[in-house]
Amino acid sequence: MALSPSATRLLRVDGRASTSPKHATRARQLRAAGELTVPPLADEEERQQNVAAAKAALRHAVSSSGRGRRADAPQRGAIAEAQVAVEVLAAPLDYQLLPGKWRLLYTDAIDVVPLLKFGDVHPEGRSSLVPRPLRVCSIFQQFSSVEEGTLQNIICCSVPFILENEGVTLTVSGKFNISSSRRLALQFESAGISDVKISPELEALIAPAMLPRTSVNHQILLALKEFSLQFSLPRRSALPRMEGGDYMLTYLDEDMLIGRAIGLSGTYVFDREPSP
C-alpha cells in the first residue's frame, strides 16, 4: 500500500530518507514488527532554516543602506523584497518576545530618514571633510513587558569636539497596548535629554591639566556631566509620530523585530540588542 508523498518523505529506512512506495510498504512492515522508528516531523526544522536564511539575506540587504539614509530606489525595492521574504515565514506572534531593547537596522519612514542624514560619513562612504554639528549614532526602541505597557524611543547623538561618541541621549517615552493579534496602539507622553558625556577636548578646555583645578572648574564639569532635561509632550502634538499611532508588528522572534506604522508610511527593521 503506497503512502502519500508528504508521509513517505518523512520516513527513513536504514538511515536514508525514502519517498519510494516500495520502501514505504517495507517501512510499514518494519514498523509493525517494532524495528522502525519514525523521527519527528522535519517541517519545523526546515522552516527555521528558511527563516535563518531569509533574516541573513535581509540583514545583508540593509547593511550598506546607512539604516535607510543612503538607499536609492533599486536598493529600497530589494530591501522590501527581502523583508517580505522574512514576513511570510512569521510564526503566530508571541508578545512575550517583545520586551527588550531593539537596535534600528533600517527604516524608510519619511520623517526619520532625514534625521539619519546627520552623520559624519559621506554617502559614498568617505569621511566628511566638514564635521556636521550633530551626529546621530545608535537608535533604539525599548519595550517593557506587555503588562507594564511602556516603551521608549532612544536616540544617541554626538557633537564633534564637544561630546563623546553617543555623548548625549534623547529619549521619547510613552505607553502601548495591544489592540489586535499583531497591532499595538502607541501614545508618547514625554521626552528627555540625559547621559551627557563631554569630550576630553572640552574637559581640557574647561579644566586644563597644566593648571590647578578650582572648585568652579569642578562645578562646571559636574553640572555638564549630570545635566538632564525632561518635558511633557502636548496631547495634540504638531508631529504625528510624536503623538503616537498604530504600529503593526509583521515579524517578531528572539532576535528580529519588523514593524510598520499604520496611517503614516514607514517600515522599521530592528535587531535585538544583547543584554549588558
Look at residue 122 and tell me whether its pLDDT is greater than 60: no
| pTM exceeds cut of 0.75 | no
Q: What is the mean predicted confidence (pLDDT) over 206-216?
A: 54
pLDDT of residue 6: 38
Mean pLDDT of the chain: 75
The full set of domain ranges for the chain reads 89-272
Percentage above 90 pLDDT, the chain: 39
Q: Which residue has the cell 539619519?
A: 116
Task: Considering only residues 151 and 218, tell me which one the structure prediction assigns the higher pLDDT.
Answer: 151
Look at residue 238 and tell me whether its pLDDT is greater than 70: no
At the topology level, CATH places domain 89-272 in Lipocalin (2.40.128)
Q: Give 234's pLDDT tier (boundaries 50, 70, 90).
A: low
